[in-house]
Structure 1
């Protein structure tokens, strides 16, 4: 299937993916293979340390109009893209994410991992950070764990440090969400401990007409953990609303 959706004017909008913390196009290999016209924006947002600047990077690397999918931190960037240039977003998918401001203890937790990386290296940081990001089946999938480990370690400590500063200083989206008018899906793995289902229920409550899709047996790394189920939801989203 083509990775393009058709907007109200009959124009084709390609699927553009915004990766999350320490992630790149490797996270979406199965999706990029299944949707040949799709593209993930790599480059760690140019090393930016604010969501707003990351959105500027995304806009500079996007086509004029896109079906925009953001995963985790990438979904927060996608929302900022919508804030800055709503006419550029034909439809929106928010995957394994949240719309809340930083919670108590979040800063301390992210800085503890940063300090572990500084003292023991990225391998130690990722070894502690990655396992809670997967569902039970993903944790037992050695090849998947190895690939995600290699991807996130290769991001490097400077990228992690810049991206957690962006997340800890993320802008509020409370006023933005009710204004989103494009077809919007929130997608989440049932076993996502970092961004649980309840956060996505809040998203679809706040965005008019938004749809919630939950994938059983997957965690926070849903696109890599359950790619077939994930891609099937993308097909539905790309043709939403149904005829």
Structure 2
């Protein structure tokens, strides 16, 4: 997912996506806090963005700046649990490859979905994570903490980044996120879906470079 971003920013680090097998966002945040530098620019994608927000709640002094990528801040929606459990049950019955074959394509932008090499790499990534990790992560998402009161209190430079073809976490969600966080900037990448960092890495990395130089003075009250 972040291979080209790591190459472009060699000083960056990726925290493992499995969070020690944790099945709650709060525990995932603790896992990262134990391993991240004392202070860092923190970028989270999808569920990882919710983990990043929990880190902000727990230890705001450790986050220099924040990027929330292809994500949401809404509570559990009607029918969400049933949909996630249908995928879980498909994986239990037919294996992880069958689960990923159903779950991944709708996540992709139109061009990326036709890129066989990219789809093969992402499929391998997801399948290799395994069903145990998938089950832990959907439980974490279904019991995710509320965020409404947190967003207006965020005081570090923040970017909300999304692909314009993200049908899972659409642009409107990121518009709302940017509106709720003081001074936050919204970036919409054309022709990319939910897997934006892998689908459009050059465009994504340009935005990351901007975010890393986003001055704190942009924040109201500074």
Q: TM above 0.5, one fold?
A: yes
User: 2:146 maps to what in 1?
Assistant: 172
Deviation at 1:95, TM superposition (A): 0.1
Match for residue 73 of structure 1 among 47, 53, 68: 47
TM-score normalised by structure 1 residue count: 0.88
Alignment length (residue pairs): 217
Deviation at 1:42, TM superposition (A): 1.1
Deviation at 1:242, TM superposition (A): 8.7
RMSD: 1.0
* Higher deviation after alignment, 191-200 or 37-46: 37-46
Distance 1:63 1:228, change over 3 A: same
| SS at structure 2 position matched to 1:104 | coil
Deviation at 1:69, TM superposition (A): 0.1
| SS at structure 1 position matched to 2:159 | strand
| SS at structure 2 position matched to 1:39 | coil
Q: Is the 8 A contact 2:156 2:216 kept in 1?
A: no
Instruction: Name the CA distance, whole Å, in 1 between partners of 2:214 and 2:17.
Output: 30
Bigger fraction of residues in strand: 1
Instruction: Name the CA distance, whole Å, in 2 between partners of 1:242 and 1:200.
Output: 20
Instruction: Name the CA distance, whole Å, in 2 between partners of 1:242 and 1:117.
Output: 45
* Higher deviation after alignment, 62-71 or 40-49: 40-49
Instruction: Name the CA distance, whole Å, in 1 between partners of 2:182 and 2:15.
Output: 27
Tell me whether 1:219 sits opposite 2:193 in the alignment. Answer: yes
Q: Is the 8 A contact 2:157 2:216 kept in 1?
A: no
Match for residue 64 of structure 1 among 18, 22, 38: 38
Instruction: Name the CA distance, whole Å, in 2 between partners of 1:242 and 1:186.
Output: 16
User: 1:5 maps to what in 2?
Assistant: none
Instruction: Name the CA distance, whole Å, in 1 between partners of 2:96 and 2:82.
Output: 18
User: 1:98 maps to what in 2?
Assistant: 72
Tell me whether 1:50 sits opposite 2:21 in the alignment. Answer: no
Deviation at 1:223, TM superposition (A): 0.1
Q: Which runs of 5+ in 2 are unaligned?
A: 218-222
Tell me whether 1:29 sits opposite 2:3 in the alignment. Answer: yes
Deviation at 1:241, TM superposition (A): 2.4
Tell me whether 1:83 sits opposite 2:39 in the alignment. Answer: no
| SS at structure 2 position matched to 1:40 | coil
| SS at structure 1 position matched to 2:2 | helix
Residue by residue over 1:94-132, the C-alpha shift from the partner in whole angstroms, topping out at 9 and shown as x without a partner, is 000000001111111000000000000000000000000
| SS at structure 2 position matched to 1:182 | coil
Instruction: Name the CA distance, whole Å, in 2 between partners of 1:233 and 1:112.
Output: 36
Q: Which runs of 5+ in 1 are unaligned?
A: 1-26
Deviation at 1:232, TM superposition (A): 0.1
